[in-house]
C-alpha cells in the first residue's frame, strides 16, 4: 500500500496553507498522530491520510503510506510528526448554544485563537463566534494549537455587529475600566466578547456591549497595559464557571 506522492497531490496539500484555497476546496490540514486521531474520532470527514507508519484505522482508499522524504514535501512543520491528514471543512451549525458563548472581535494570532478554542472546550463553551477579520480556525497553526478541541467547539464566522444586534442575550465585554469581575454578579448565560490583540474591542462592537467588565490588577505599580487575550479569556471563563459551583 506504500505509495509515492504525485506532483498534483503535493500541490493540493501545499495550497491549503492559504485561506482562499482552503475555502475554495473546502479542505484543511491536520498534522501529527494525536491531532489526527482526535479528528478521526469526530464528525469530521477524512479526505486523505498520508502517514509514514501504518498506525491509523481509516478506510484503505483514503490511506497512503509514504516515505519520510515525501512527508517533508507536504508538511508545514519544521519537525513533522509521522502523518498529515486532509479533512473536509464542515458547514458550521447555526444554532446558538443556550449557555455561555465566547465572541472574538478581530483576534489575529493563530496561537491565541487555538488556545481560546481549547479553553472553550475545557469550560464547556460549545459556541465560539468570530468576527470576519478573526484569523481562520482552519489555519494549520490554529488547528495545531487546539490539540483536537476544534472537533468539540462550533466556530462560526459572522458580521459580529449584526450578530450581537439580533441576539437578546446579555453581552459582556472586557475593558480596562468596568465592573470588577470578581465582585460582579455573573449569569450562567451570556456572550463574552474579547477584542483584538493590539486595539481591544472596536467602537462598533463596544456599542453592542451591555456590561463592561474588567479583570483588576493586583500589582503596586499598575503598569502592565493589558493581559494577553487568551489569558483574559481563561480568567473570564474560570470566573463565569466557578459561580455555577457556588450556587
| Site for a copy of itself, rule CB under 8 A | 38, 111, 115, 118-119, 121-124, 147-149, 152, 180, 182-183, 215, 217-221, 223-225, 227-228, 230-235, 238-239, 241-242, 244-246
Measured distance CA(8)–CA(24) in Å, rounded: 16
| CB count in 10 Å sphere of residue 115 | 22
Least separation in angstroms between residue 143's CB and a copy of itself is 15
Least separation in angstroms between residue 235's CB and a copy of itself is: 4
Minimum CB distance to a copy of itself, residue 49 (Å): 21
* Burial of 227 per CB tally in 10 Å (0-12, 13-18, 19+): middle
Choice between 103 and 125, CB closer to a copy of itself:
125
* Degrees to nearest 5, angle at CA 95 with 91 and 97: 125
Least distance (Å) from a copy of itself to the CB of residue 200?
14
Instruction: Identify the residue whose cell numbers are 470588577.
Output: 180
Between 160 and 230, name the residue whose CB sits nearer to a copy of itself: 230
Backbone angles phi, psi at 105, to 5 degrees: -100, 90
d(CA 31, CA 138): 12
What is the phi/psi pair of residue 102, to 5°?
-105, 135
Select 1 or 221, whichever has its Cβ closest to a copy of itself. Answer: 221
Of the pair 102, 232, the CB lying nearest a copy of itself is at 232
- We find the least distance from the C-beta atom of residue 117 to a copy of itself, in angstroms, to be 10
Helical ranges in 84-139 per DSSP H = 110-122
Nearest CB to a copy of itself, comparing residues 27 and 237: 237
Amino acid at each position: 500500500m506504500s505509495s509515492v506522492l504525485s506532483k498534483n497531490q503535493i500541490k493540493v496539500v501545499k495550497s491549503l496553507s492559504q485561506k482562499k484555497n482552503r475555502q475554495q476546496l473546502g479542505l484543511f490540514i491536520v498534522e501529527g498522530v494525536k491531532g489526527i486521531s482526535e479528528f478521526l474520532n469526530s464528525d469530521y470527514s477524512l479526505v486523505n491520510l498520508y502517514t509514514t507508519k501504518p498506525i491509523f484505522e481509516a478506510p484503505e482508499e483514503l490511506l497512503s503510506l509514504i516515505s519520510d522524504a515525501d512527508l517533508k514535501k507536504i508538511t508545514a512543520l519544521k519537525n513533522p510528526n509521522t502523518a498529515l491528514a486532509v479533512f473536509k471543512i464542515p458547514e458550521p451549525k447555526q444554532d446558538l448554544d443556550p449557555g455561555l458563548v465566547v465572541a472574538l472581535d478581530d483576534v489575529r494570532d493563530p496561537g491565541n485563537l487555538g488556545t481560546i478554542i481549547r479553553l472553550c472546550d475545557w469550560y464547556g463553551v460549545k459556541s465560539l463566534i468570530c468576527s470576519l477579520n478573526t484569523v481562520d480556525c482552519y489555519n494549520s497553526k490554529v488547528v495545531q494549537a487546539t490539540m483536537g478541541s476544534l472537533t468539540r467547539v462550533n466556530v462560526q464566522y459572522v458580521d459580529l455587529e449584526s450578530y450581537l444586534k439580533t441576539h437578546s442575550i446579555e453581552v459582556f465585554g472586557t475593558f480596562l475600566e468596568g465592573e470588577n469581575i470578581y465582585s460582579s454578579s455573573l449569569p450562567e448565560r451570556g456572550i463574552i466578547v474579547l477584542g483584538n490583540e493590539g486595539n481591544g474591542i472596536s467602537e462598533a462592537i463596544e456599542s453592542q456591549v451591555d456590561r463592561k467588565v474588567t479583570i483588576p490588577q493586583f500589582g503596586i505599580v499598575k503598569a502592565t497595559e493589558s493581559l494577553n487575550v487568551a489569558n483574559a479569556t481563561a480568567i473570564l471563563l474560570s470566573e463565569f464557571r466557578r459561580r455555577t459551583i457556588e450556587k
